[in-house]
Chains A and B, each alone.
Chain A
């Protein structure tokens, strides 16, 4: 079946602009995660959704970052007033339920802030 998909695959934006990144999880997966992979920081957790609620937002680096999930499916990560340090690959993952299940990752969105 279809895996996790993300769009766009690449995004180049100017400093100060807002961007939206989209994640379509595997159908039926209730848990959804956003991670960020950058050269200096490795792979780091941003936010976790169970259904439409986000019980863990501890990884969001600043209040410029927000995310939502609707219908227990699609999620959008929004970065406002982008800064150069936001440049990274943003990865989305989903799992059937929280806890014991494998997390399946999408191909990522490469964000470049000029």
Chain B
């Protein structure tokens, strides 16, 4: 069964800290992996997409890495800000019809 797990479930940090969110997945035969953020009561905002042939992607203060052999991805957030507070979701595309299998998310709170 294809499963995606995210650790930790919740994280609270003071503003300015660098932090890492973890995502692990079963079955290394993935097509791509996508990181999203979700604000309370809102839809999902795409942050980064990593294709299976890539090792990492960067956008501003965000950096996502992918290690297929170990079934892991990390999302690194540099110099965190209160506006980064949200739930972060990792989603794996296992190919076929391209549906995403989502992790359970990490709820991040950045305090001023």
Show the binding face of A for B, using Cβ within 8 Å: 4, 31, 33, 35, 42-45, 48, 55-56, 59, 91, 93, 95, 98-108
Q: Is the CB of B99 within 8 A of A106?
A: no
Given contacts A42-B104, A105-B43, A108-B43, contact A100 B51 (CB under 8 A): yes
B74 at the interface (CB under 8 A from A): no
B34 at the interface (CB under 8 A from A): yes
Mostly helix, strand, loop or mixed at chain B's interface? Answer: strand
Show the binding face of B for A, using Cβ within 8 Å: 31-32, 34, 36, 42-46, 49, 51, 89, 91, 96-105
Mostly helix, strand, loop or mixed at chain A's interface? Answer: strand
Q: Is the CB of A103 within 8 A of B102?
A: no
Q: Is the CB of A31 within 8 A of B43?
A: no
